[in-house]
Amino acid sequence: MRKLTGVLLVFLFAFTSFGFSFDLSFFDFPTLQEAAYYDALQDVKEGHHDYAYIKLREYVRERPRPDREKKARFSMAEYLLEIKNYRDAIKQLAGYLEDYPDDPSRVFAQALLYKALTDFKQDPELIERIKLNFFSRSLFLIFSESKSIEYESIFKNVYRITEYVDRIEIFKNNELFLDIAP
């Protein structure tokens, strides 16, 4: 796809240099901003998570579409946690939680923040507040023994939170990621 886009751009440049003009409204080219997002997705498919992170960061700086920005910011925090850059992951997740207070994916960001804080061994008071928040109200448990919700990140990680009466289990790609009890 990248080669085809490059060939089209060279072709158009060559012809417009000679005074020809084209109506490009037929083509649905993404903006440069959106191209960074699509490049990041391609890098994820190819297993280049470092490059994908860089492109997502670039994308977010340009104030993109809100729905994609949210997903990009979550995935950036996820990547930082994955490479054990806890300090930046904590900042990213705290900003995410502040900017999206009513978003359904918030519970997954809280889980990642809890993981980052416990692994980094920072701010025991905040760890306890997050833990209490998980148990202060039902996340989604109504008239059943347990209930689960899922979220898939840009990096193709599938998170599942299963809430029980006495604990919450958080899975990442079907492996237990966190087990939180009151």
Closest CA to 158 of 108, 117, 100: 108
Sign of CA dihedral 165, 167, 170, 176: negative
More confident of the two residues 101 and 132: 101
What is the overall mean pLDDT for the chain? 81
Q: Give 50-53 contacts, CB < 8 A, sequence gap 24+.
A: 52/79, 52/154, 52/155, 53/79, 53/80
More confident of the two residues 178 and 143: 178
Per-residue pLDDT tens digits for 64-104: 788 889 999 999 999 999 999 999 999 999 999 999 988 88
Q: Where do runs of H (alpha helix) occur along 62-122?
A: 66-82, 86-99, 106-120
Question: Which pTM value belongs to this model?
Answer: 0.74
How would residue 26 be classed by pLDDT, with cut points 50, 70 and 90? Answer: very low
Per-residue pLDDT tens digits for 27-57: 444 576 678 889 999 999 999 999 999 999 9
The CATH code belonging to domain 30-180 is 1.25.40.10
The radius of gyration of the chain's CA atoms, rounded to the nearest angstrom, is 21
